[in-house]
Amino acid sequence: MTWVALTLLAFVAGMLLGLRVRSPLSNPTLVATVLVAAALLLSHTPYEAYRQNVQPLSALLTPAVVALAVPMYRLRALLAKQWRALVLGGLSGTLLGVTADTLLPRWLHLTDEAQRSLKTAPATSPVALQLAQFTHAPPALAATLAVLSGLVGALVLPPFLSMLGVKHPLARGIAIGSVAHGVGTARAREEGDLTGAASSIGMGLAAVMVTFIVACGL
């Protein structure tokens, strides 16, 4: 249980840092991962021992994935009114993201593990983790790359979209959410409620879209 305690406290430490330093890099998941990883390496604890120790925490992921339906349901009025922009925009963004994350690693002859793990990066980390059993990716790598996709997206996408001349809050939000899910959505919320809402929808659609792409064995 010591590792459970350490993981909880490391996450709170990351949250506190985030209140001080406003940057996508002061993300609580990233901070907690670095702190816990350092503690494991310093104490020569194998990852497998840690993973079994913190099983109770991971068990909460299953209901959390189901809970993703709630923000989507709350935003149903917006979704119904703007479904063309949100659904068509979001799905094409996610599809293109997954396609690039599938084909580029193949062309670059990346390792098998990297190829399998990269393709689910546009899906929120808990879903990427669930999909690992079907893509035969190492779960840890798939989850980490998904988190990094959110972090990098939160950093680069807002200025990139401005450069492309994408100004409408709905368009900016759905673009960020469709590939940069959780962390991206937190960043989108800083631009305004509408951007945050659209990003939340994009994240939900991406989770479902990536799941179906994997199910179809593409």
Partner 1 sequence: MTTPPESITRQLPQPVRFVLGMGILVGFAALGTGLTTLLPLPLPGPVVGLLLMWAALSAGLVRLHWIEDAADGLLGILGLLFVPATVGVIDYLSAGATWGLWLLVMLAGLLLGAGAAGLIASRLVKE
Interacting residue with partner 1 among 5, 23, 92, 193 (CB under 8 A): 92
Query: Rule CB under 8 A: is residue 17 a binding residue for partner 1?
Result: no
Q: Answer positive or negative: Cα dihedral of 188, 190, 192, 197.
A: positive
Contacting partner 1 within 155-184 (CB under 8 A): 156-157, 160-161, 164, 166-168, 170-172, 174-176, 178-180, 182
Query: Rule CB under 8 A: is residue 209 a binding residue for partner 1?
Result: no
What residues contact 1, with CB distance under 8 A and at least 6 apart? 53
- Provide, rounded to whole angstroms, the least separation between the CB of residue 179 and partner 1: 4
Interacting residue with partner 1 among 24, 93, 116, 196 (CB under 8 A): 93
On the CB side of 46, how many CA atoms lie within 13 Å of its CA? 3
20 versus 55: smaller Cβ distance to partner 1: 55
Which residue carries 């935003």 as its tokens? Answer: 75
- Other C-beta atoms closer than 10 Å to the C-beta of 133 total 11
Query: Rule CB under 8 A: is residue 78 a binding residue for partner 1?
Result: no
Q: Of all helices (H) and strands (E), which one includes residue 58?
A: helix 55-59
Contacting partner 1 within 118-157 (CB under 8 A): 118, 121-122, 124-127, 129-131, 133-134, 138-141, 143-145, 147-149, 152-153, 156-157
Q: What gap in Å lies between CA 111 and CA 62, rounded to an integer? A: 29
Query: Rule CB under 8 A: is residue 23 a binding residue for partner 1?
Result: no
For the range 74-78, what are the long-range contacts, defined as Cβ-Cβ under 8 Å and sequence gap of 24 or more?
Answer: 75/197, 75/200, 75/201, 78/197, 78/198, 78/201
Interacting residue with partner 1 among 13, 17, 85, 191 (CB under 8 A): 85
131 versus 197: smaller Cβ distance to partner 1: 131
**Phi and psi dihedrals of 80, rounded to 5?**
-65, -40
Query: Rule CB under 8 A: is residue 203 a binding residue for partner 1?
Result: no
98 versus 197: smaller Cβ distance to partner 1: 98
DSSP type of residue 68: T
20 versus 172: smaller Cβ distance to partner 1: 172
- Provide, rounded to whole angstroms, the least separation between the CB of residue 162 and partner 1: 10
Binding mask 47-66 for partner 1 (x = CB under 8 A): x--xx--xx-xx-xxxxxxx
Looking at residue 57, its amino acid is L
